[in-house]
């Protein structure tokens, strides 16, 4: 993966697209709302889904795995790097990597990271600054 340049990255992105990738959902997720859609392996003795009967939802298997160079990349084709302070940006390659600011980072440090990323020409996946709701003027009943 040492030389994934834009044209090569596009080719890999297209070959590694999740075409026809089913949405793996829990067995009978549609019947019981409390189950949710999160994947859980069916373990029942007579489960048709576990046995892989036709007409039943698909189960995850090794055949759905993406090619190694594309695996784990952001949908844009870049590798994600988690950043929690402005010093973490220094080793990032703008041609191959994008940054995601950690959720624990506050407003002031987030602004510093955004400014440094703009200087270096690095794309930020979550640039928005969290707005405080009603600026602490919440009313309490009582």
As a three-state string, the secondary structure of 41-102 is: CCCCCCCHHHHCCCCCCCCCCHHHCCCCCCCCCCCCCCEEEEECCHHHHHHCCCCCEEEEEC
- For the entire predicted model, the pTM comes to 0.63
Residue 136 has pLDDT above 70, yes or no: no
Structural domain includes residue 137 = no
Structural domain for 39, as ranges = 22-65
Residues 123 and 100 in one domain: yes
pLDDT digits (tens, 9 = 90+) for 60-108: 999 888 888 888 888 888 999 999 999 999 999 999 999 999 999 999 9
Tell me the average pLDDT across 111-128: 93
Residues 53 and 70 in one domain: no
Q: Tell me what pLDDT residue 120 has.
A: 93
How many domains would you assign to the chain?
2
- C-alpha to C-alpha distance for 142 and 136, rounded to whole angstroms: 17
Residues 73 and 120 in one domain: yes
């Amino acid at each position: 993966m040492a030389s994934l340049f834009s044209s090569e990255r596009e080719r890999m992105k297209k070959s590694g697209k999740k075409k026809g990738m089913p949405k793996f959902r829990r067995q009978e997720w549609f019947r019981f709302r409390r189950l949710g859609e999160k994947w859980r392996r069916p373990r029942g003795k007579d489960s048709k889904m576990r046995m892989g009967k036709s007409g039943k939802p698909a189960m995850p298997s090794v055949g759905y795995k993406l090619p190694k160079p594309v695996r784990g990349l952001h949908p844009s084709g870049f590798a994600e790097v988690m950043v929690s302070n402005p010093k973490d940006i220094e080793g990032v390659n703008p041609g191959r990597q994008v940054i995601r600011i950690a959720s624990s980072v506050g407003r002031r440090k987030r602004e510093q990271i955004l400014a440094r990323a703009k200087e270096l020409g690095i794309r930020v996946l979550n640039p928005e600054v969290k707005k405080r709701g009603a600026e602490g003027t919440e009313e309490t009943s009582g």
